[in-house]
Amino acid sequence: MGLRVRVLTQLSEVEALTPAWNTLVEGSASATSFQTPAWCLAVMRNLFPEKPSRARIAVVEDGKGLILPAPLAIAARNGVRMLQWLGEPLSAYGDVVARPGCDVAAVMQQVLDHMQARGDQIDVVYLPKTRVDATVTPFLKKFERLPSTNKIAPLIDLRRFPDFEAYVASRSSKAMKSYRRKRRRLAEEGNLDFRVHSSGRHAAELARVAFDLKIQWMKTHGKVSRIFAHPAFLDALLDFVGQEGSGAFVSALSLDDHPIALEIGFAINRCYYSYLGAMDLAFSRFSPGQLQLLESLRWSFENGIETFDFLPSDSEYKRAWAPESTEQSDWIFACSYKGALYGKLVLNSVLPLSRRLYTRAPLSVRKPTQSMIHRLLKE
């Protein structure tokens, strides 16, 4: 095919590729924040500081330059070697970016063949959180979709509304009236302020506050998350938020300069991704998270955002705001008998069943087992 495939494992190699990579991102309508070099570098710096060889940034080039960078990594689980997206579990969407006209299926097959030829032992290719409209979709024809992993991501096509007020008018009048009433009552408590902070040092400081509030909320409600299971995951997220120009934002609803609701979000190619929200439980009667969300939507209209993506998974509260949605799934391709067995027994059976059992368990059962579950997720 006249193509050259390289596999990058070092930060310096990815940094050198950043300008060409960003050019592809800017020209791709489907690229998300999770396929940018800034995101991949933050992941590599924090998740693989002592084991850079786990990173597999597959780079495909021709005489004209970069065609496709595929952010991948090798993960070992119970003796099974998986090739998966680099940002797992941090990335909300997994995908590649590619030059227009690229035969993604053929190029990605060449990537896989090259990695195996260079000595990578791969038992199973595991591509989780891949959207139905992902650039990598043509490559997935021979993959198996894990039916238990299908998820819905509610979103709003802001282009359907002339302005923020028109959008608000399309929502439940009863709910909007309640939010306005709660905002008035909250404003009576002190000086109420909303601001959106672009990536950088101050945004990272606010992100730390958001983590603390989220952890407290999780403890109160008996929730667990892989992102909060290991400090390195949060460090990678803070790294990305702290990089000026990364496209990360932290919005804050504050009362007398005290943040009572925060949201970490990412914006790229006129799409905003609502990544992580947190609130001060002491003010829960005012629904500060919903009030913050309203202001974030207003900001999105004012700053030319065309799509507001709530990200998976689906929920009633997201549906109350978002009339549209997209789908994502996990995909696997077994390269060995061991990989096929792991895919069927663990990825498609044990893990989904464990999540369902924990989620449906009463709070009295979940709370005492939180620490144990997080230790297991850390592995």
What is the per-residue pLDDT for 208?
A: 98
Burial of 65 from C-beta contacts in 10 A (0-12 / 13-18 / 19+): exposed
- Is this model's pTM higher than 0.85 or not? yes
How many angstroms from the chain centroid is the CA of residue 278? 16
What is the per-residue pLDDT for 43?
A: 96
CA-wise closest residue to 35 among 14, 7, 53, 65 = 14
Q: Which ranges of the chain have pLDDT less than 70? A: 1, 49-53, 353, 357-358, 361, 363-367, 369-379
Residue 163 half-sphere exposure toward CB, CA atoms < 13 A: 1
pLDDT tens digit sequence for 136-182: 999 999 999 988 788 999 999 999 999 999 999 999 999 999 999 99
What is the per-residue pLDDT for 370?
A: 64
What is the per-residue pLDDT for 376?
A: 54
Helical H segments across the chain, by residue range: 11-26, 37-47, 104-117, 164-170, 173-187, 201-221, 231-242, 288-302, 316-319, 337-342, 351-360, 363-378
CA-wise closest residue to 273 among 155, 161, 159, 164 = 155
DSSP character string of 123-173: SEEEEEEEETT-TTGGGGGGSEEEEEEEEEEEEEEGGGSSSHHHHHHHS-H
Residues near 55 by Cβ (< 8 Å), separated by ≥ 6?
Answer: 8, 9, 44, 48, 72, 73, 86
What is the per-residue pLDDT for 226?
A: 86
Q: 214 to each of 218, 277, 362, 378, how far by Cα in Å?
A: 6, 7, 20, 18
pLDDT tens digit sequence for 327-339: 999 999 999 999 9
